[in-house]
Structure 1
Amino acid sequence: MQDRLQKILSQAGVASRRESEKIILDGRVAVNGSVVTELGTKADPDNDVITVDGKPLTIEEKRVYILLYKPVGYMTTMKDPEGRPIVTDLLKGLKERVYPIGRLDYNTEGLLLLTNDGALANALMHPSHEVDKGYLVRVSGHVSPEQIQRLTEGVKLEDGMTAPAKVVPVSESEHNSWISITIHEGRYRQVRRMCEAVGLSVVRLKRSRYDFLEIGDLKPGQFRYLAPEEVTKLRRKGASAGSGRAPRKSGVVAKRGMSKRK
């Protein structure tokens, strides 16, 4: 996207807007090899080569952190060979390229974090980082105390025993029951497989919490930007991962407020 050169220079940290104007007037800026001295000239920092005193301009992408209510029927990959919708399709108007922290199954809905902060994403997904993830699960029929006990203690799956989970009955009707399950592992389709292992058939699965973050009043397809204090807490969580390195502090931008899109 094109923008005025003095604004591009200012955003890149070269100088203030007014000082950037002087740099342009002094003939120190070139676009695609041609010196520019006229204020108001526009360029596209993504496609044009902009130099200052002969050195290429480096523009660091803003860091963004998004909490999305993923609807059923969306993939959490960046592209799908079968042409199914992907979660980033819901973030229309977002200039930055973001990707999910972890995954939710195609038929699972709920809280999904997306960012372009690779250091934080890798830290939070590190195997040694045990972050609680809360799910609301609707299953067919009645849930017995024995089934809850088995889930709580951990169940044997084809890839080994699961860690103990926190399981709380929520409500029950004639045909269905709701339970809350909190786990800290991130195995493939883990909650569904745990329920199947104890004889429960999952009708609906919704992730409602990721550590201290909750889905709140977001509706399917809506999202909000994380507040700066939420980003700070996540970075502290990430710093405790087994990598032993805290995510870098530079270049972090978190937008306040809520942006909801259907």
Structure 2
Amino acid sequence: MMMRLNKYIAHHSSYSRREADKAILDGYVRINGEIQDNPATQVDEKDDIVYVSGKQITPKDKYTVIVYNKPKGELVTKSDPKGRRTIYDGLEKKYKHYIPVGRLDYATEGVLLLTDASKIASALMNSNLERIYKVKIKGEVTPEIEAAMMNGLELLDATAGGHSHSKVTSMTFAPFLGYKIQKNEHNYSVLKIAISEGQNREIRRFFAHFGTEVADLKRISFAEVELNNLPTGKVRFLSRSEYSALFTFMKAEEKLAREKGKK
């Protein structure tokens, strides 16, 4: 698998992407003995040997996946130029090099998977595995909202509900895998929804289209992995059955990749 040099270093070490860029530009990085000063240089994960300041960066064939119950008020990023709290401030130092599987925004809490293997992170991030959320919205669940959850929605202007600096303007929402309205009142409503995507602030944008603000958002499961009784801000390893489900998923992904390669 080919990967950009800066991404390779960030994925397989405690360096952030920004720190990896600096090390490369400052001449501290070698690939197969030769100094490389371009962060976009491609690395072959199987064959190339990468050193940073004389220390080899070693990809792991074995992988670990952890579940973090992300609190509100943490960014899913290695470091923040504004000095805001990130997930790595809440996690133990031994998880500093772990890669988050997608992002939960600053105000969203719940299940966040992290792994020390980039191939696992990429496969899960780009999958259509079920993600279940508990959502509290300001206002009622209208028939229009229900119809959009059942049939999907295509928005040319999906800026409402997104960050002001987001480059995402339009968005297509697939039909929800399922939903359950737990409370439906004029002031606020509570739903449990199941979706198969992880687009940028997707749920907030969806409800904002109907003039409805998301007051609370919590991811309670990602595929087979459930939050259960994991306290906020705490970590657990995957159970044996969860690892088994992940192994089955990865085998299917590898088989699909091989079949595509034959075409």
Same fold (TM over 0.5): yes
Q: Match of 2:147? A: 149
Q: Which residue is equivalent to 2:239?
A: 227
Tell me the percent identity.
31
State whether residues 135 and 209 of structure 1, in contact with CA within 8 Å, keep that contact through their aligned partners in structure 2: yes
SS of the aligned residue for 1:188 comes to coil
Q: Which amino acid aligns with 1:181?
A: I
Q: Using the alignment, how far apart are the partners of 1:243 and 1:108 within structure 2? A: 34
Change (3 A) 1:200 1:59: closer
Residue-by-residue CA offset, 1:45-86 (whole Å, 9 max, x unaligned): xx998xxxxxx9x89596321101101110111111111111
Structure 1 position 239, deviation (Å): 3.4
- In the superposition, the TM-score normalised over structure 1's length comes to 0.65
The runs of at least 4 aligned residues of structure 1 exceeding 4 Å deviation read: 58-62
1:136 aligns with 2:134: yes
Segment drifting more, 94-103 vs 196-205:
94-103
* Structure with more helix by fraction: 2
Residues 59, 233 of structure 1: CA spacing in aligned structure 2 closer, same or farther, 3 A cutoff? closer
Q: With the length of structure 2 as denominator, give the TM-score of the two structures.
A: 0.65
**Aligned twin of 1:120:** 120
Q: Report the 3-state secondary structure (helix = DSSP H, G, I; strand = E; otherwise coil) of the residue aligned with 1:161.
A: strand
State the match for 2:81 in structure 1: 81
Deviations 1:89-139 (A, max 9, x none): 22225366212011101111111000101121122223xx31111111101
Q: 1:63 — aligned with what?
A: 63
Secondary structure of 1:110's counterpart equals strand
Q: What SS does the aligned partner of 1:81 have?
A: coil
Q: Secondary structure at the match of 2:141?
A: coil
The 1:145/1:63 distance shift into structure 2, 3 A limit, reads: same
The 3-state SS of whatever aligns with 1:186 is: coil
> Which residue of the other structure, out of 207, 227, 241, is the alignment partner of 1:215?
227
Q: Distance in 2 between matches of 1:192 and 1:140?
A: 12
Unaligned runs of 5+ in 2: 1-52, 158-169, 259-263
The question of 1:171 aligning with 2:169 is answered no
The 1:139/1:90 distance shift into structure 2, 3 A limit, reads same
Unaligned runs of 5+ in 1: 1-46, 50-55, 247-262
